Amino acid sequence: MRTVLNVLWLLLGGIWLAAAYFVAGVIACLLIVTIPVGIASFRMARYVLWPFGTLVVKKPEAGAGSAIMNVIWFVTVGWLLVIVHLVTALTQAITIVGIANAVVSIMMIPVTAFPFGKELIDRDDPRALYMTSLVSTR
Q: Is the separation of the CB atoms in 119 and 56 below 8 Å?
A: yes
Please give the model's pTM, rounded to 2 decimal places. Answer: 0.80
Cα dihedral 47, 48, 52, 58 sign: positive
Q: Specify the pLDDT at position 135.
A: 41
Q: pLDDT digit string (tens) for 2-35?
A: 888 889 888 888 899 999 999 999 998 998 888 9
pLDDT in tens, 37-78: 899 899 999 999 988 888 888 887 778 888 998 998 899 888
Are 12 and 90 in contact by the 8 Å Cβ rule? The answer is no
Cβ partners under 8 Å of residue 114, min gap 6: 70, 73, 74, 78
Domain boundaries, the chain: 2-121
What's the pLDDT tens digit per position in 73-127? Answer: 899 888 999 999 999 999 989 988 888 889 989 988 999 999 898 888 877 776 6
Query: pLDDT at position 138, please?
Result: 39
pLDDT at residue 134 in the model: 43
Say what angle helices 79-92 and 98-107 make with each other, to 10 degrees: 160
